[in-house]
Amino acid sequence: MNATVNLFNKIFAADKWNIGYVHQTAEELIRTKKLAPSINWLKEDRVDYAADPFVVNVNDKPRIYYEELDFWKGKGEIMVIDGFDFKNKQKVKGIKPGQIHLSYPYLIEENGVLYCIPETSAGNEVALYQIDEENPSQLIKIKVLVSGKAFVDSSVIYHAGSYWLFTSVSGDHQHLYIYHSKTLDGQYTGHYLNPIPVEREYCRAAGNLFKVGGSLYRPTQNPSNCYGGSIIINEIEKLNDKEFKTSLQFEILPDKAYNQGLHNISFAHNIIVIDGKRKVLSMITPFKKFVRNFKNR
C-alpha cells in the first residue's frame, strides 16, 4: 500500500512554494531563536514557485524581489512586487546572459543605492547589478565580481572594513567559497582557505547575511530531510582573510501551512520575509514536469 502511495505521489505530486512574512525584527529572532508564531502567507500565485524572497523598505513600504518558476516555461525568472500582492508583479529585466535560469535575487544597499546579485549559475559568474531607482524592474549590470564556476546563492555583507562574498557551487554540497573586497564593486580576492570544507547543512546560503549587536549571522539551507527542508542560523565567530570560524545557533522549522520546507529568509524594517513549501496533487503534474525537464535540457 505504501509503495503504491509513494509511486502516486512521485508521479502526481509537485512542490508549491509561496512567500510569507511576520512582524518581527532580526534582534527578536536571535533572542527567541524562532519566528513569530503567526506567519502571514500571501494569496498564492498560479505559478509553481514563488520563492527566494528578498525584501527592502521603499518609502516605508516593503518591496520584494523573488524567483518565479512556471513549469510550463521551464526556467526561473526574477519578479518584483510592492507590498504583499502578486497581482502587481513585474518581471525584472536586464540580467545577462539572457535565457538562463534565474533565482536568489540578493539585495544590498549602499549610499542610498540598491543593488542586486541574482543567481546566474548557468552563466558561470557572480555579477553585481544596480536597480534603476525610477524603474525597480530594470537592472543595470555593473560588474562581474567572480567567475569560472556555476556559483549559487551568492550573498554579500560589509563587515570589519571589507565586503565579504559567500557563495557555493552547484552540485557541490561540501565546500564553501568566500571572497573579499574593499569596495562593493571592487576586485574580489579568494579567501586563503578556499574551498572551505563544510557539512552540507552549512554550505548553501538561505538568505540575508545580517548583524545583531555586533555579531554576524549567516542563514544556510538544511537539506538533511529534503531539498529546502529548513534553515540553520549560524554565527560567524571569526572572519578575516586567513581565518573563518562559524557555529550553529538554532534551526528554523517549516510552518504548518507550508510544512514541507523553507529555504530563504530576508529582513526589512520590523518585517521578516520567508518562503514555504507544500505538496500539491494534480493530474497534469507529469506533463508539467516533462515540459520543465525538456526545456532545461
CA distances from 272 to 9, 89, 158, 257, 268 (A): 32, 20, 20, 17, 6
Residues of the chain where predicted confidence (pLDDT) is lower than 70: 1-9, 297
Cell reading at 239: 572572519
The three cell numbers locating residue 146: 567572480
| 285-295 and 2-12 helices, crossing angle to 10° | 50
Q: How many domains does the chain have?
A: 1
Residue 91 included in any domain: yes
Asked, for residue 10, whether it belongs to a domain, the answer is no
Q: Answer yes or no: is 176 within a domain.
A: yes
> Among all chains, which residue has been given the C-alpha cell 504583499?
84
pLDDT in tens, 119-130: 999 999 999 999
Residue 234 falls inside a structural domain: yes
DSSP code, position 68? E
CA-wise closest residue to 55 among 215, 256, 264, 262: 264
Measured distance CA(109)–CA(78) in Å, rounded: 18
Contact 103, 117 (CB under 8 A): no
Q: Ramachandran region of residue 104, left (φ > 0), alpha (ψ -120 to 50) or beta?
A: left
Residue 120 falls inside a structural domain: yes
Domain containing 93 equals 16-295
Strand partners of residue 167? 177
Residue 2 domain flag: no
Q: What is the pLDDT of residues 148-191, one digit of tens each?
A: 999 999 999 999 999 999 999 999 999 999 999 999 999 999 99
Average pLDDT, rounded, for the chain? 93
What residues form DSSP beta bridges with 275?
Answer: 19
Domain containing 201 — which CATH number? 2.115.10.20
**pTM over the 0.85 mark:** yes
The answer to whether position 6 is within a domain reads no
